[in-house]
Structure 1
Amino acid sequence: MESEKFKSGDLVQLKSGGPTMTIRRYDSTRHNWYCDWFDINGEHKMQTFRGDQLETVNAVKG
């Protein structure tokens, strides 16, 4: 089920590359994932993506 692919707080990235983003929530009406990230200037960004565009990022915590 698409809504179980990720959970809130998971780190993801577009399969084509780009910044590491955090899953905010799933929109079951539009079947999209809301993602948050900060750009290189520290500005908050938010966008929705289809699940097939995203992949999990393994975070290394120090």
Structure 2
Amino acid sequence: MQVDELKPGDVVELKSGGPDMTVSWVENQDGVLEARCDWFDKSQKQESAVFPTSSLRKIK
């Protein structure tokens, strides 16, 4: 996925499945495009993590 294909506010999921996540930022880290994503777990606790954009699928 190209950096211009994802932007803050986009809703994504991991290609392997999981919760809907909102993109906070996208940047190039040493040639690897990464996105910070935020979501709420089953107990409504906010979680966040950074993923390579190649592992994400845009859903909204």
Check whether TM > 0.5.
Answer: yes
Find runs of 4+ consecutive structure 1 residues off by over 4 angstroms: none
Scaled by the length of structure 2, what TM-score is found? Answer: 0.85
Q: Which has the larger share of strand? A: 2
| 30-39 vs 40-49, greater mean Cα deviation | 30-39
TM-score (norm 1): 0.83
Q: What is the correspondence of 1:1-62 to structure 2 with a 5 Å cutoff?
A: 2-29=2-29, 31-58=33-60
Ranges in structure 2 where 5+ consecutive residues have no aligned partner: none
Give, in angstroms, the shift of residue 17 of structure 1: 0.2
% identical equivalent positions: 34
- Larger Rg belongs to: 1
Which segments of 5 or more consecutive residues in structure 1 lack a partner in the other structure? none
